């Protein structure tokens, strides 16, 4: 590893490949999307190059405002639920013997390999009246008769949190594995119980990691468009679902692009805001 600052143009050479990839596969498509969002929708056909604001104007309504608000709240809730479960889980995981850690990580990676469709169908079966978990509760005498739990907001939140959980663990794992064990030992020596030491020492020590993970899960959940259709009612549909409708079923690419641009801007603003808050707190 070198800490020398780049001197010549050639020193920037290693950056060329990622820069080209980023331009070709991110900047250019995003630019096209922004351009299309200003095109003119032709009903009964497709769109024509133009510069109109109608697509954004259509979006600025109470209806879409509510859908956007719901999407943001849902994504934030998923982030909180996933991190709340994954953080203690990863902490315990990082303290297991090496061999068992590997087993857990392999299991988590195999969940990542499942497609959203399979996750959605599995949960809708688990939450069904005819074959779901309520049948187990009935057999145990805890419920009178089986009931259907899906589609509902709870089912959607569960599905999305489940889907985000392995990613959350994998993002938290390096930081928790590197955490200095003497921190805990010092806290214990000073008389703190393990849960108390975990909450007052480990969590604050990794505050920035937690914030970064929350943001990652938030953005991850914001893009969900399949699970809301499989596990949610129409009132639980996110903006991404409506974007898909416009792009694929209504052939209204300009409006879909405008909604997508709006979603990107709002989420970037929120991410920026939370980073700013995090930095301010760290400085104090």
Please enumerate in sequence order all residues whose Cβ is within 8 A of that of 109, keeping only pairs 6 or more positions apart, or say none. 166, 170
Please identify which residue in 71, 213, 229, 240 interacts with another protein, judged by CB under 8 A: 229
Give the whole-angstrom CA distance, residue 193 versus residue 179.
18
- Asked whether position 124 contacts another protein by CB under 8 A, the answer is yes
- Asked whether position 279 contacts another protein by CB under 8 A, the answer is no
- Asked whether position 121 contacts another protein by CB under 8 A, the answer is yes
Please identify which residue in 84, 128, 135, 209 interacts with another protein, judged by CB under 8 A: 128
DSSP letters, 106-133, are: HHHHHHHTS-HHHHHHHHHHHT-TTTST
- Asked whether position 191 contacts another protein by CB under 8 A, the answer is no
Of 29-37, 188-196, 205-213, 228-236, the window that binds another protein (rule: CB under 8 A) is 228-236
Q: Is 260 helix (H, G, I), strand (E, B) or coil?
A: helix
Phi, psi for residue 211 in degrees, rounded to 5? -60, -45
- Residue in this structure with the two tokens 């190059």, named with its chain if needed: 49
Within 70-109, the residues that bind another protein by CB under 8 A are none
- Asked whether position 1 contacts another protein by CB under 8 A, the answer is no
Please identify which residue in 135, 208, 209, 251 interacts with another protein, judged by CB under 8 A: 251
- Asked whether position 67 contacts another protein by CB under 8 A, the answer is yes
Please identify which residue in 5, 10, 249, 283 interacts with another protein, judged by CB under 8 A: 249
Give the whole-angstrom CA distance, residue 236 versus residue 228.
6
Please identify which residue in 92, 100, 235, 272 interacts with another protein, judged by CB under 8 A: 235
Give the whole-angstrom CA distance, residue 221 versus residue 162.
11
Q: Are 264 and 68 in contact (CB under 8 A)?
A: no
What residue ranges bind another protein (CB under 8 A)? 41, 43-46, 63, 67, 121, 124, 128-131, 148, 151, 229-230, 233-235, 237, 242, 245-246, 248-252, 255
């Amino acid at each position: 590893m070198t800490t020398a600052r780049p001197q010549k143009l050639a020193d920037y050479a290693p950056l060329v490949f990622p820069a080209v990839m980023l331009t070709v596969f991110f900047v250019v498509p995003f630019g096209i999307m922004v351009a299309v969002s200003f095109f003119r929708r032709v009903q009964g056909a497709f769109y024509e190059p133009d510069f109109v604001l109608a697509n954004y104007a259509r979006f600025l309504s109470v209806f879409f405002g509510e859908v956007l608000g719901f999407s943001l709240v849902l994504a934030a809730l998923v982030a909180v639920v996933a991190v709340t479960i994954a953080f203690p889980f990863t902490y315990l995981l990082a303290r297991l013997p090496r061999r068992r850690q590997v087993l857990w990580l392999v299991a988590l990676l195999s969940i990542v390999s499942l497609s959203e469709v399979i996750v959605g169908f599995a949960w809708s079966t688990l939450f069904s009246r005819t074959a779901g978990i309520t049948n187990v509760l009935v057999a145990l005498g805890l419920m009178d008769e089986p009931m259907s739990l899906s589609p509902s907001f709870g089912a959607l939140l569960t599905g999305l949190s489940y889907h985000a959980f392995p990613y959350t663990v994998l993002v938290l794992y390096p930081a928790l594995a590197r955490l200095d064990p003497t921190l805990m030992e010092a806290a214990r020596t000073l008389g703190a119980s393990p849960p108390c030491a975990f909450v007052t020492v480990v969590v604050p020590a990794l505050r920035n990691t937690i914030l970064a993970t929350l943001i990652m899960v938030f953005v991850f959940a914001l893009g969900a468009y399949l699970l809301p259709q499989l596990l949610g009612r129409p009132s639980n549909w996110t903006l991404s679902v409506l974007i898909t409708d416009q792009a694929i079923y209504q052939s209204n690419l300009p409006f879909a692009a405008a909604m997508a641009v709006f979603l990107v801007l709002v989420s970037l603003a929120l991410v920026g805001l939370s980073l700013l808050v995090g930095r301010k707190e760290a400085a104090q």
